[in-house]
Amino acid sequence: MSSPEIFTLRWGIIGAGSISSSFVKDALLDPKTRNVTDVQHTIAAVASRDVKRAQEFIDKYCKPSTVAYGSYEEIVADKNIDAVYIGTPHTHHYANARLALEAGKNVLCEKPFTSNAAELRSLIEIAKKHNVFLMEALWTRFLPISQEIKKITDSGELGDIRVVHADLSGDFDVDHIPKTHRILDPQLGGGALLDLGPYPIIWAMMCLYEHPKNALVAPDHIAGTMLKTPLTGVDASTSFSLTFSKLEAQAILSCSITLPSPNPAVTIRYRNGNVLIHPPPYAPRSYTVQWFDKPGSGKIVKEEKREVTWVGGGWHFQADEVARCVRDGKKESDAWSLDKSLVVMNVFDKVREQGGYKFPEGVEQVV
């Protein structure tokens, strides 16, 4: 039996695929395993384009009472759902989120939020019009390890921050997967930038954009370059740098679908030392702090590896944020607000333009 003080958020899941299963498994873990006692989650319904797939998903991951739907239209009309989680490929996020928002549902939408910034601006307007909550599922922002590293950065204990180097790569075996796989198919927004880019950039957003001395000023210079795969023309590898002039700092970011992430995956460089974050950068479990003997010397006099553990994959922390926001009547999260997602989408638009990556006709719903 749940105690009356616990707020229960009733989720509807759109897309019975891989990431939806990770999200649901974490959401259904006992919140006490992460010392959370104020919110909890239930999965009220799951929708797939094929009702059989929705039912199979429920049989595997949910309680028998969870309702299976064979269309996304049906799930957003369900009165027993407080929030919809969208776990479909990138280029479907806009249409799926719009459907849910217009039905008056709160929405948590997988990364990348949309195909382009114009689509996101449109979703933000629709969410405002319908007075509902909207957030991108940038789960890394909510991990306990991210809060720890952010504290080190914001406190200035390692001196002024100068550079964030971050990479997320993964070998997707592109020569052997079908060209219709979401990582390769331009119709699904395939390529490294949109799929993997949200993770290197989240470290830049947390440590630079959100730095108290930067005061939420967007990067004033963005420079990107893309290496395309001849298989489908999407970006196999992308590098991009962001200059935060107000903070006198830069982010040097990269991602690739043809090789693993380096170790460290993220190096945060301050005047008095470094923080090295060990892979995977989307959910690291350890980082190393290095101290210099004096500012700018580079001579490491002390080094400490720190582990941060939790039960589950880590997708539940963002779910808790949504539950608290909905409980409190908030329409967006402070930690991962809509303007932050918009900064990211603007960067991705610019880097795609610089890299010459155009989506096929009709993919972008708003341009």
Ligand X SMILES: NC(=O)C1=CN([C@@H]2O[C@H](COP(=O)(O)OP(=O)(O)OC[C@H]3O[C@@H](n4cnc5c(N)ncnc54)[C@H](OP(=O)(O)O)[C@@H]3O)[C@@H](O)[C@H]2O)C=CC1
Ligand Y SMILES: O=C1OC[C@@H](O)[C@H](O)[C@H]1O
Give the binding site for ligand Y (CB under 6 A): 170, 195, 282
What single-letter DSSP state applies at residue 246?
A: G
Query: Smallest distance, Å, CB 88 to ligand Y?
Result: 12
Indicate the residue among 82 and 195 with the shorter CB distance to ligand Y.
195
Q: Closest approach of Cβ 2 to ligand Y, in Å?
A: 31
Nearest approach, Cβ of residue 198 and ligand X (Å): 8
Question: What's the closest the beta carbon of residue 7 comes to ligand X, in angstroms?
Answer: 23
Instruction: Specify the residue, 41 or 92, whose C-beta has the smaller distance to ligand X.
Output: 92
Q: Determine if the peptide bond prior to 112 is cis (ω within 30°).
A: yes
The site partner of 70 among ligand Y, ligand X, none (C-beta below 5 to 8 Å per kind) is none
| Rounded CA separation 351/317 (Å) | 30
**Sign of the Cα pseudo-torsion (39, 41, 44, 49, in order):** positive
Cβ proximity to ligand Y, 85 vs 282, nearer residue: 282
- Give the residue with the Cβ less far from ligand Y, 42 or 146: 146
Sequence-distant (6+) residues with CB within 8 A of 340 are 205, 209, 210
Backbone φ and ψ of 208, nearest 5° = -110, -60
Tell me whether residue 61 or residue 282 sits nearer to ligand Y (CB atom).
Answer: 282
Q: Which is nearer to ligand X, 182 or 352 (CB)?
A: 182
Chosen from ligand X, ligand Y, none, partner binding at 53 (C-beta under 5 to 8 Å by type): ligand X
Q: Which position's Cβ is nearest ligand X?
A: 17
Measuring CA to CA, how many Å separate 266 from each of 32, 140, 294?
30, 13, 23
**Cβ 348 vs Cβ 242: under 8 Å:** no
Our CA dihedral for 245, 249, 250, 251, rounded to 10 degrees, sits at -130
CA distances from 364 to 96, 186, 268 (A): 13, 11, 35
Shortest distance, CB of residue 248 to ligand X, whole angstroms?
A: 32
Element at 57 (helix H, strand E): helix 51-61
- The DSSP secondary-structure symbol of 36 reads -
Sites of contact with ligand X (CB under 6 A): 15-19, 48-50, 53, 87-90, 92, 110-111, 137, 139, 182, 188, 195, 282
Partner that binds at residue 139, options ligand X, ligand Y, none, CB closer than 5 to 8 Å by kind: ligand X
292 binds, among ligand X, ligand Y, none (CB under 5 to 8 A by kind): none
Residue 173: CB minimum distance to ligand Y, A: 12
Place of tokens 């989506």: 359
319 and 41 Cβ atoms separated by less than 8 Å: yes
Task: Decide which of ligand Y, ligand X, none touches 170; Cβ closer than 5 to 8 Å per partner kind.
Answer: ligand Y
Measured distance between the N- and C-terminal CA atoms of the chain, rounded to whole angstroms: 49
- State the minimum distance, in angstroms, from the CB of residue 229 to ligand Y: 15
Nearer to ligand Y, 31 or 170 (CB): 170
